[in-house]
Structure 1
């Protein structure tokens, strides 16, 4: 029953205010999630901005088009710096996702750290090796492109 981590970084050519406004608005999650995940927010009353203790429920189809309920809690928020969501109900035995923002020259560095444990003990470890990790990598690659489409590509070099 292993615990795994996924790290992702993206430089975004936008202001900290713009990026924070986008990623801290729960309704924008669908915009950065691949269509094949069948992602739908099912929470009835959804505030515009997340806050500690906020519960968000979704329907997702992580495997074979089978709809599952996923419930996360926003456990920590530091305005314009980071927030953490943790799974309360869902496909993983454990899911802890840190979203960090850091101002950099020309924009913002967004970092994600996902710590997760697949379900089903040793079978989950095999599933992680066969497809779970690949699926997570695909989801984060999609998100990278979606954020690039929204905010633009970060220049590969900057002139001094």
Structure 2
């Protein structure tokens, strides 16, 4: 299993950060276009809540569509939320999003634990491709969020 940690500080209020990140529709705006990310659930709501199911289609490899379904398992307003994969490309996916007010803005921390399926073969695919792709997505987000919020 992989554990990745990402952090970013933005010069915006905790309220502004929470408002943006707790809206599932905004996820597409911070995902690289080559991923072909589309939210397909129709009734996912505008704000996250515990028990919320969000469905997506993503095209991470050669434009091949993959269905992905996550559940928001925990939400503490303006502090954190957790999404877990219910169906999709990983055998395990647990993603924590933490928000802390700091001098001059907000500190955001992402803690991601995931596992690629297929045992030994999955470990090879992860080492050659998946881990770098996941890191690239978070690097992209950091750039986009900096351009959006400063």
TM-score range, shorter chain: over 0.9
Unaligned runs of 5+ in 1: 153-160
Describe the superposition over 1:67-98 as per-residue Cα deviations: whole angstroms up to 9, x where unpaired.
00000000000000000000000000000000
Describe the superposition over 1:4-44 as per-residue Cα deviations: whole angstroms up to 9, x where unpaired.
01110000100000000000000000000000000000001
Task: Give yes or no for contact 2:44–2:52 (8 Å, CA) kept in 1.
Answer: no
2: CA distance, partners of 1:66 / 1:94? 21
Structure showing greater radius of gyration is: 1
TM-score by length of 1: 0.92
2: CA distance, partners of 1:91 / 1:119? 8
Q: Which residue of the partner structure matches residue 38 of structure 2?
A: 40
Counterpart among 44, 48, 51 of residue 49 in structure 2: 51
Task: Give yes or no for contact 2:95–2:113 (8 Å, CA) kept in 1.
Answer: yes
Q: Kindly report the root-mean-square deviation, in angstroms, between the aligned alpha carbons of the 2 structures.
A: 0.6
Unaligned runs of 5+ in 2: none
TM-score by length of 2: 0.99
Secondary structure in 2 matching 1:46: coil
- Alignment: residue pair count: 150
Give, in angstroms, the shift of residue 46 of structure 1. 2.6
